[in-house]
Each structure stands twice: as structure tokens, then as C-alpha cells.
């Protein structure tokens, strides 16, 4: 901690939460752990590839957003669902970091707890109350942040948030933020990260279990899951274009983040000498290459889609269709390679 006076606390960060992470919680948690515990990454915690298509029977556009969205399987709708997910459990068992939450119901208690942590912890923030944010006094939203300082001389708190990076919020805005969450939820969430001992070894990772889970989702007969979800998403994207109205599709950036994270997961397996990954190193390298290409495609779709909407051009949006069709092809290829890899693992076990 750097403290120029008793009235000022500040914890500097060289790196900020990564935009290519699957979601803001994991990005912020990874950043916090990296800065405080010198752990460079949590790549071995994440192997997710499950699609859920929402409102695929609703072609309406509300404002500038479509009612249809495609999301990964990690439910981010509540703290309970976030912290109970297997990625958070993997971070605990494989890296030794336990993440828990505190529900703060009194602002004085919040300030006392912040002081006990030298004004350095993870919490939640609404950009509606951030004076520096383009969403200030406009739209309410939910975001995870790192509070990393307090400056009583200038009446501000310092915080880091994935989209805003290093920013400040006034004392008044900070208290209004607390009151908003108190009125909405009955409390403000604080996230506490504790170090634990772990006897984890790289070969404890059961690739067969993870692959079975992923393949089951990808091959699901449901129109809302797996490869069917991707095909239906593409078809309904084309249908929405017929409204001749530019629209945003919520959460597609998470699709890019998950593919990118999966490539890092398999690369980490090789780097850490996982015995099965090394035994089938050529297959793993092919899976990594597919995930990298798939991540690039999802990112291209996301960025070009946002650009098209910013230009208020439906005609330009039609150019996204070939990208989506290529995504469908590549998703099917990844599914096949994962299935083939699973079969090889089963054959190896059977022949032992």
C-alpha cells in the first residue's frame, strides 16, 4: 500500500481486468489475485463450452436491443449462481483461492470494513453513479469492481472496473451506489478472497468428465442448446434483419471470451505437462488452434456488429451473415475434435 498521508490510500495496478475474459467477474477476480498474490493466470480453472439461446421464439426489438440473446452456460444473474459455478470451485481447488461474499447492510459498516482492508477489495458498482462514466445518470447496470483507494482530501474513492479501468467516484456517488443496491437487493455485495493450502496436481484434472459434459451440451437435441442453438441463432439473426432496424445482441462478447479461455486452458495443460494432454499432444494442439480461430470469429462478429449498429446501417449488418455461417462450421469442427479426443481417451482407458 502507498499512503502519502492518513487521509489517502492507494493500491496501484499495472494491469487491469482483461476484456478477453469470459465475463467481468472472472476478469476482475483474476486481476485482483494477480496483483495481490502474484499468480499470473487462472487458465486451468476454465473449460466451458455450453450454449443457451434465450427468447429464440421472440423476434421483437426493444429499443436498440434484440430480445434474443445467446449466452454461455455460466449464469451471471446472481452472486449465488456466480460463486457456485465450477470455475470458482476450480479456482479454489486448483489454485487455493476461496471466494466468499459478505452482505453489507449499513454504510458505516461498509466504511469500517474498507478501512480494515486498507480500502482494497472487490465489490459491485453501478456506472449510473460514476461521474466519469458515459452511463452516468442514464442507465442502471451491474458491474464487479476493485476498490483500490480512498482520498479524503479530494473526497473520492478509487476503483478499477473492466470497462472504465482506473477511475474515481465521489463520496456522494459512492454512498448513492450503496443506497441503490441496498434498496434493490437489501444489501451491497463485498467479495472476500482468502488463500488456502491445496494439494492439487495437474493430473487431478479429469479431461474425460469435462469433455463428456461439453459434448453432451453440444449434441443436445434441444433447439436452445449446443450446436442447434448456434444454427438457430444464425437463422434468427437473418430474420431480425428483415425488421430493417439496427439492433444489438446481448452478451455475444462472452462467446468470444469462452473460446479464448478454452484455448488457454488446453495450452496450460501442455505447459504443465498433463499426462493425457502430452500423450495426445497433436490432438490437443489441433483443438487449441480451432478454439483460437473460433475466438477470432466471435470477436470479429461482435466488433463488426457493434460497428454496424453505430453506423445505423442494417445493410451493413447483412455482412455479418457469412461470419456467423463460418462460426457454425467452426463450432461443428470443434465439437467433432472434442468428440474424437474423448473417444481416444476412452480407448486408452479400455486398452490399459
Residues 109 and 157 in one domain: yes
User: Is 332 buried (19+), middle (13-18) or exposed (0-12) by CB count in 10 A?
Assistant: middle
Residues 251 and 234 in one domain: yes
Distances (CA, A) of 160 to 50, 80, 88, 142: 29, 23, 21, 14
pLDDT at position 135: 78
Residues 89, 291, 300, CA angle at the centre, nearest 5°? 110
Which CATH number goes with the domain that contains 113? 3.90.70
pLDDT at position 3: 43
CA nearest neighbour of 35 among 171, 166, 201: 166
Alpha carbon 313 to chain centroid, angstroms = 29
pLDDT at position 207: 94
Residue 124 lies inside a defined structural domain of this protein:
yes
pLDDT at position 152: 92
Residues 185 and 217 in one domain: no
In DSSP notation, 175-223 reads: HHHHHHHHHHHSSEEEEEEEE------GGG--HHHHHHHHHHHHT-SST
What Rg do the C-alpha atoms of the chain give, in angstroms?
22
pLDDT at position 108: 94
Residues 273 and 221 in one domain: yes
Residues 131 and 222 in one domain: no
Residue 255 lies inside a defined structural domain of this protein:
yes
pLDDT at position 59: 62
How crowded is residue 38: how many other Cβ atoms within 10 Å of its Cβ?
Answer: 7
Q: Which of 195, 214, 229 is the last residue of a domain?
A: 195
pLDDT at position 35: 93
Q: Which of 143, 167, 195 is the last residue of a domain?
A: 195
pLDDT at position 113: 95
Residues 157 and 254 in one domain: no
Query: Tens-of-pLDDT digits for all 352 residues of the chain?
Result: 444 445 578 999 999 999 889 999 999 999 999 999 888 899 999 999 988 888 766 667 877 788 888 888 888 888 899 999 999 999 999 999 999 999 999 999 999 999 999 999 999 999 899 888 887 888 888 889 999 999 999 999 999 999 889 999 999 999 999 999 999 999 999 999 999 999 999 999 999 999 999 999 999 999 999 999 999 999 989 988 888 888 888 888 889 999 999 999 999 999 999 999 999 999 999 999 999 999 999 999 999 888 888 888 888 889 999 999 999 999 999 999 999 999 999 998 787 6
Largest CA distance in the chain: 70
Buried b (16+ CB within 10 A) or exposed e, 144-164: bbbbbbbbeeeebbbbbbbeb
> Distance between CA 45 and CA 41 in Å, rounded?
9
- DSSP-derived letter for residue 92 is I
Beta bridge partners of 51: 72
Residues 253 and 286 in one domain: yes
pLDDT at position 2: 47
What are the start-end ranges of the E strands in 307-350?
A: none
Residues 178 and 206 in one domain: no
> Distance between CA 102 and CA 82 in Å, rounded?
14
Residue 76 lies inside a defined structural domain of this protein:
no
Residue 298 lies inside a defined structural domain of this protein:
yes
Residues 219 and 332 in one domain: yes
Q: Which of 161, 195, 229 is the last residue of a domain?
A: 195
Residues 133 and 275 in one domain: no
Residues 235 and 342 in one domain: yes
Beta bridge partners of 52: 71, 225
pLDDT at position 341: 95
Residue 82 lies inside a defined structural domain of this protein:
no
Residue 83 lies inside a defined structural domain of this protein:
no
Residue 326 lies inside a defined structural domain of this protein:
yes
Number of domains observed in the structure of the chain: 2
- DSSP-derived letter for residue 94 is I
Residue 127 lies inside a defined structural domain of this protein:
yes
pLDDT at position 63: 75
Segments forming the whole domain that contains residue 107: 2-40+97-195
Residues 304 and 345 in one domain: yes
Amino acid at each position: 500500500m502507498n499512503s502519502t498521508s492518513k487521509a489517502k490510500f492507494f493500491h496501484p495496478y499495472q494491469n487491469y481486468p482483461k476484456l478477453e475474459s469470459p465475463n467481468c467477474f472472472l476478469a476482475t477476480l483474476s486481476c485482483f489475485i494477480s496483483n495481490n498474490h502474484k499468480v499470473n493466470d487462472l487458465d486451468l480453472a476454465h473449460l466451458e463450452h455450453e450454449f443457451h439461446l434465450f427468447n429464440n421464439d421472440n423476434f421483437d426489438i426493444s429499443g436498440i436491443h434484440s430480445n434474443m440473446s445467446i449466452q454461455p452456460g455460466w449464469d451471471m444473474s446472481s452472486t449465488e449462481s456466480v460463486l457456485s459455478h465450477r470455475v470458482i470451485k476450480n479456482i479454489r481447488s486448483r489454485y487455493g483461492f476461496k471466494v466468499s461474499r459478505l452482505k453489507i447492510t449499513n454504510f458505516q459498516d461498509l466504511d469500517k470494513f474498507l478501512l480494515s482492508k486498507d480500502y482494497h477489495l472487490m465489490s459491485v458498482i453501478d456506472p449510473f453513479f460514476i461521474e466519469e462514466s458515459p452511463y452516468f445518470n442514464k442507465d442502471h447496470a451491474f458491474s464487479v469492481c476493485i476498490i483500490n483507494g480512498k482520498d479524503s482530501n479530494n473526497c473520492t474513492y478509487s476503483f478499477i472496473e473492466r470497462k472504465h479501468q482506473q477511475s474515481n467516484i465521489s463520496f456522494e456517488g459512492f454512498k448513492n451506489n450503496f443506497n441503490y443496491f441496498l434498496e434493490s437487493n437489501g444489501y451491497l455485495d463485498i467479495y472476500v478472497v482468502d488463500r488456502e493450502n491445496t494439494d492439487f496436481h495437474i493430473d487431478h484434472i479429469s479431461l474425460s468428465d469435462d469433455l463428456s459434459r461439453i459434448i453432451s451440451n453440444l449434441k443436445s437435441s434441444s433447439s436452445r442448446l449446443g450446436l442447434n442453438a448456434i444454427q438457430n441463432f444464425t437463422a434468427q439473426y437473418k430474420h431480425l434483419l428483415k425488421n430493417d432496424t439496427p439492433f444489438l445482441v446481448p452478451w455475444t462478447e462472452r462467446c468470444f471470451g469462452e473460446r479464448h479461455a478454452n484455448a488457454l486452458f488446453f495450452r496450460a495443460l501442455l505447459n504443465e505437462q498433463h499426462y493425457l494432454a502430452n500423450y495426445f499432444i497433436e490432438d490437443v494442439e489441433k483443438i487449441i488452434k480451432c478454439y483460437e480461430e473460433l475466438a477470432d470469429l466471435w470477436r470479429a462478429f461482435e466488433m463488426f456488429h457493434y460497428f454496424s449498429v453505430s453506423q445505423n446501417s442494417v445493410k451493413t449488418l447483412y455482412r455479418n451473415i457469412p461470419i456467423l455461417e463460418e462460426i457454425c462450421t467452426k463450432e461443428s469442427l470443434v465439437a467433432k475434435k472434442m468428440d474424437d479426443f474423448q473417444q481416444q481417451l476412452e480407448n486408452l482407458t479400455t486398452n490399459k
